[in-house]
Structure 1
Amino acid sequence: MSLFRRSSIEARSSNDGWFSIFGSGKGLDGSMKSALRLVPLYAATSLIADSIAIMPCSEYESTGGSKVKAKHQSPLLLDPHPAATMTRIEWLHQYTTSFLLRGNAYGLIVAVDTAGVPSKLAWLHPDQVTVDESGSQPKYQYKGKDLDPSTVVHIPWYPVPGSVVGLSPIGQFRRMLETGSSAEQYGADWFKNGSTPSGHLKYNKGSLTGSDSAKAKARFKAAVSNNDLFVSGSDWDWEALSVKPNEAQFLETIKATANQIAAIYRVDPSDIGGEAGSSLTYSTLEMNQIKFQTRALQPIFTRLEHHITRLLPDFHYMKFNPDALVRTDIKTRTEVNKLNLEIGLLTQDEGRELEERPILTDKQKQEWLKNYGKQPTAPKEETS
């Protein structure tokens, strides 16, 4: 066997198998849902998946050196999900979730249009896909059945040399995730089972037998179970016991786990329950959105752009519009649009389209020119 080629079993066990990531651990079992119970992990992956799912994308055409939006958008971009009840938003969310949690997204072409261009693409559950890399070309199976390689769209996150299967981003941090999961489980057990007593009820006139203590405890609990008042004579003292900071160390562990997960997915720790240690004293929402877009989103949606472009007709390509997620205030946006119009970067119609406003009719354009437009001035005659 070659140094870089592996059998399907080896590839599955080392790269994309969720069970290989968490199966031997005690804190998490082998399901995606179990892993997502870890709040910082759910927060990070859902933040990225939701952002990409709502991002506008279109099909463009490159002809004669110019790039324009295609007049007829492919169904693969408009409505790619094979289920009638699902939209492009859910389709993009499925892709991103599989990509983030497994490091691989496996798509299956299930329909083509009259021109032979794929029109429907179903994302397969990555845990049910196996890849045999022992031959010259990878072979794919889904639920034990062979797939036609020409119908498979495989997008890996972190493929190592000699393999087409991507490494799972969280699989490389198994110990850290199990620590975070154990900390949350410890906290839940602590508050549920009362590993620290809630208080001390003391009888000041001697000792009590076991049965007397049990009766007193039952009466006291019955009285205060609904935050009711407990009335007694001078024989009893009640002292509430608070949790010491050093006994709540699991909270600090959860914060540390959130910071590590934030580093894996390149998001701001404060967005997923961690603590940002930045020394910057000033930042804007726009700057934070641009940073998030560049680091966390762009590497993911750019991969999808390239793979979908390979399925489109020649000279056609898919392009996301991440700028739509970066919302500035109205004044700044207006100034930017004005500048783009003046330097010829945008036409008036393109600027109105960005603002989701209808294109002006010829009559409206003439009216605008009459009231606000600059009429060209006639050149001055030269004098001798």
Structure 2
Amino acid sequence: MSLFRRSSIETRSGGDGWLSVFGAGKGMDGSMKSALRLVPLYAATSLIADSIAIMPCSEYESTGGSKVKARQQSQLIIDPHPAATMTRIEWLHQFATSFLLRGNAYGLIVAVDSVGVPSKIAWLHPDAVAVDESGSQPKYQYKGNDLDPSTVVHIPWYPVPGSVVGLSPIGQFRQMLETGSSAERYGADWFKNGSTPSGHLKYNKGSLNGSESATAKARFKAAVANNDVFVSGEDWEWNAVSVKPNEAQFLETIKATANQIAAIYRVDPSDIGGEAGNSLTYSTLEMNQIKFQSRALQPIFTRLEHHITRLLPEYHYMKFNPDALVRTDIKTRTEVNKLNLEIGLLTNDEGRELEERPILNDKQKQEWQKNYGKSPTTPKEETS
């Protein structure tokens, strides 16, 4: 682990703080906001970012061949966001959003603890970061300000050989995204300003001049305003004119775009407005969650784990718990916990902790043993 110079970090944190020095906190620029207006793209990235943001993580230490949860969790694991009004959830969401939309997450270490371990990292807007790769080591700038490389945490998604900068999904698939965005705008314009009328009000007793038609139209619209009842005699006939969205071809384009975005981000097309093309008829919520976890989430949070681990004390590492997102029914979860207890994978105290229940005290253990004939901490084979 490298030691960070306290002076450089404290200088950036002084005065109005790092927010004023680097212009962070002023909001995203138009390019990323415009991309997120495309519904399937927003659905895919927010689904992944939200899942990573709420995923529990902890700090572990490896000593003497065993790996246990660290007794003292580092500030970087507990609450790494430099803004006092935001939590680790928002911090993780910012990382994922930058990573998913730009293929790079750039973090700036803005605080260290008493032993030199980073305690706060601010994610910088990726569009304002410039990377100079002409030398032997990359040099970073943020809004024209040189950054100390030792204070930069750079996590790329898809780096090609010869470069440390990841490819941007938005940039690589710009044409496809623009097609989908155009289709959405066309669909909205079709229903708002399209040439097809909403209906046909016909007078059966003869012809009407322009003034008479306008008067009849105004009276009819006033009568049916707010979905009111319309009453007519034998001389008027009203027919609603409906337009099938498929005739405009924009829904097919949107679905095709959603399927392509689903392929990029490895999510199920049906989750973001697309259509799944497989013929599988049997699946469960748990199976879908596991597939989503292994394909879409694990490659991202594993990268973050490795980069944060490099900043922690020696023999310490960060680890997410993606299993917490896989929700099973109570019966299945109970059976799994029972099996883990029997094979020694869990202790009784660890099993209760997973269920967010307090550890049994000695009196409660005695009562349990008296009522059920076996100590909850005694292996099954020892009581047989």
- Pair in the same fold by TM > 0.5: yes
Q: Which residue of structure 2 aligns with residue 110 of structure 1?
A: 110
Cα distance in 2 for partners of 1:138, 1:100 equals 22
Q: Which residue of 2 aligns with 1:153?
A: 153
Matched, 1:306 2:329: no
Aligned partners of 1:357 and 1:227: how far apart in 2?
55
Q: What secondary structure, in the 3-state scheme, does the structure 2 residue paired with 1:226 have?
A: helix
Give, as a single letter, the amino acid of the residue that structure 1 aligns with 2:344.
G
Worse-superposed segment, 284-293 or 346-355: 346-355
* Structure 1 outlier segments of 4+, above 6 Å: 374-378
Any idea what the Cα deviations from partners look like across 1:217-275, whole Å, max 9, x if unmatched? 33332332333344455443322212146424211221121111111111111111111
Does 150-159 or 40-49 show the bigger shift?
Answer: 40-49
Structure 2: gaps (5+ residues) = 1-28
Structure 1 residue 370, shift from structure 2 partner: 4.3
Pair 1:278 & 2:278 matched = yes
Aligned partner of 1:321 in structure 2 is: 321
SS in 2 for 1:170: helix
The equivalent of 2:128 in structure 1 is 128
Q: Deviations over 1:108-145 (max 9, x none)?
A: 00000000000001111111111111211111111111
Q: More deviation in 182-191 or 368-377?
A: 368-377
What's the offset of the Cα at 1:277? 2.2
Where does residue 339 of structure 1 map in the other structure?
339
Q: Which moved more, 1:208-217 or 1:186-195?
A: 208-217
Q: CA deviation at 1:202?
A: 3.2
Alpha-carbon distance in structure 1 between the residues aligned to 2:137 and 2:308: 21
Are residues 1:32 and 2:57 paired?
no
For 2:97, what is the secondary structure of its paired residue? Answer: helix
Identity, % of aligned pairs? 89
1:170–1:264 CA contact under 8 A, matched in 2:
no
Quick check: 343-352 or 285-294, which moved more?
343-352
Distance 1:73-1:345 versus aligned 2 partners, 3 A rule: same
Separation (CA, whole Å) in 2 of partners of 1:360 and 1:201:
77
Task: Report the more deviating stretch, 203-212 or 87-96.
Answer: 203-212
Pairing of 1:227-238 with structure 2 (within 5 A): 227-238=227-238
Equivalent residue, structure 1, for 2:101? 101
CA distance in 1, matches of 2:246, 2:365: 71
Whole-angstrom distance in 2 between the partners of 1:369 and 1:234: 87
Deviation at 1:214, TM superposition (A): 2.8
The answer to whether the 8 Å contact 1:104/1:154 transfers is yes
SS in 1 for 2:226: coil
Q: Secondary structure at the match of 2:61?
A: strand
Aligned to 2:69: 69
- Give the match for residue 255 of structure 2: 255
CA distance in 1 between partners of 2:33 and 2:225 (Å):
35
Instruction: Name the residue aligned to 2:186.
Output: 186
- Answering whether residue 219 of structure 2 is matched by residue 219 of structure 1, we say yes
Q: Mark the CA change 1:139 to 1:245 in structure 2 (over 3 Å): closer, same or farther.
A: closer
Query: How many angstroms apart in 2 are the aligned matches of 1:65 and 1:215?
Result: 89
Shift of 1:191: 1.6
Amino acid at match of 1:58: S
Q: Distance in 2 between matches of 1:317 and 1:240?
A: 66
Q: Is the 8 A contact 1:158 1:166 kept in 2?
A: yes
| Structure 1 range deviating more: 217-226 or 322-331 | 217-226
Aligned partner letter, 1:361: N
> What is the one-letter code of the residue matched to 2:159?
P
Which residue type is aligned with residue 40 of structure 1?
P
Q: Residue 373 of structure 1 aligns to which amino acid in structure 2?
A: K
Query: CA–CA distance in 2 between the matches of 1:230 and 1:358?
Result: 66
Query: Alpha-carbon deviation of 1:92?
Result: 0.5
1:201-216 alignment, distance < 5 Å: 201-216=201-216
Contact 1:341/1:347 (<8 A) preserved = yes
**Does the residue aligned with 2:202 lie in a helix, a strand or coil?**
strand
AA at the equivalent of 1:57 = C
Counterpart CA distance in 2 for 1:202 and 1:329 is: 60
CA contact (8 A) 2:246 2:252 kept: no
Aligned residue number for residue 22 of structure 2? none
Q: How many residues align?
A: 350
Distance 1:108 1:339 in 2: 45
Deviates further, 203-212 or 317-326: 203-212
Q: Does residue 198 of structure 2 align to residue 198 of structure 1? A: yes
Instruction: Report the CA distance between 1:373 and its aligned residue.
Output: 1.6
58-67 or 167-176, which deviates more: 167-176
| Alpha-carbon contact 1:140-1:147 (below 8 Å) kept | yes
1:368, distance to aligned residue in structure 2 (A):
3.4
Moved more, 98-107 or 186-195: 186-195
1:156 shift after superposition: 0.4
Distance 1:343 1:238 in 2: 75
Q: Deviations over 1:63-120 (max 9, x none)?
A: 1110000000000000100111101111111101111111110000000000000000
Moved more, 253-262 or 92-101: 253-262
Cross-structure match for 1:361: 361
Give the TM-score, by structure 1 length.
0.86
1:190 offset after TM fit, Å? 1.5
User: Offset at 1:206?
Assistant: 4.8
Task: Report the equivalent of 2:374.
Answer: 373
Hey, what does 1:22 align to over in structure 2? none
After superposition, what is the alpha-carbon deviation per residue over 1:345-380, rounded to whole angstroms, capped at 9, x for unaligned? 1122211211112222234334434443268999xx
- CA–CA distance in 2 between the matches of 1:232 and 1:337? 70
Alpha carbons 2:245, 2:251 under 8 Å: kept = no
One-letter amino acid of the structure 2 residue matched with residue 180 of structure 1: G
Query: 230-239 or 347-356, which moves further after superposition?
Result: 230-239
